[in-house]
Amino acid sequence: MKTFIDLFAGLGGFRIALEKKELECVFSSEWDKYAQQTYALNFGELPHGDITKVTNEQIPVHDCLCAGFPCQAFSISGKQGGFNDTRGTLFFEIARIVKSKKPKVLFLENVKNLEKHDSGKTLITIKNVINDLGYSCYSKVLNSSYFGIPQHRERLYMVCIRNDISIKQFEFPNPTYEDVNLKDIIENDLEIEDYAINRLDIAIKGNPIIENNLFKTKILKPIRIGTINKGGQGERIYSEEGHAITLSAYGGGVASKTGAYLIDNRIRKLSERECLRAQGFPETYEFPENMPKNQIYKMCGNSVSIPVIERIFNQICLCIS
């Protein structure tokens, strides 16, 4: 494979992973203006906007279609099946492009809950459409924590290979279980006060997981050690000895989007750079000057985990080589 397109591109995590394999990105699309600006700064091109307004003729022929697509409810999912069941959803735009361009591979990412949405009917509808378009579809939920970055992030990955391509059996990568924790991505010389949470209703307590870890091995999951207020969403405190919770584009609470952590004896949120590291982005990745912090956190929460994308794509290359 030589070329790919980057749909619902966000920060460009798919692009970073595939360009490492020397593939060329021939088209990108992202509707969010903040993500567009960030993408342009890092890749030197402004993505096309709303994909629903992009015609098939504007999209070049390509070998691999990449998309971390949004998943809205399918109003009639599972009732009729087929291509028409996806109209009115953004997955329809993927199907439209695939029908026109027939790439060799579709590489898709979505939230874990897509597996169970509408009692599984939504995923069945998606797979039926992909099958009808002439592709074999493989899917699996993988956790970023087991692929070298300290963030608990379970996502559904789908690899769809065109049926006329001679392939070996596709298999998703095995976890690498690399020995990493939150301490490994902490930003040195950070201006703590910009991220500190100073409250009177903070409660910290010990955690048996840490206390019984006699061999000081790194624990590949978040370790909760306290609460803020009543301990609701965005009000839970975790140890730097474990992993970050799932970065989120939305959510409330004093520690919304990143979670709260006890780091160097202070309770704080993660910094923007730490969020990038928790998704596997290179140190050279930048945000535009004066980008609103809430938008940065939103984009990081919407992004893909680059090391997981890399591992899966390596398996794709082995499968169709």
Q: Which residues are catalytic?
A: 71
CA angle 27, 40, 38 (to 5 degrees): 120
Structure-token pair, residue 99: 């029908």
- The residues, ordered by sequence, that sit 6+ positions from 107 with a Cβ below 8 Å of its Cβ are 14, 64, 65, 66, 67, 157, 158, 159, 160, 309, 312, 313, 316
The one-letter amino acid code at 113 reads N
- 169: β partners: none
Segment (H or E) for 317 = helix 306-320
The one-letter amino acid code at 21 reads K
Alpha carbons 14 and 303: distance in angstroms, whole number:
9
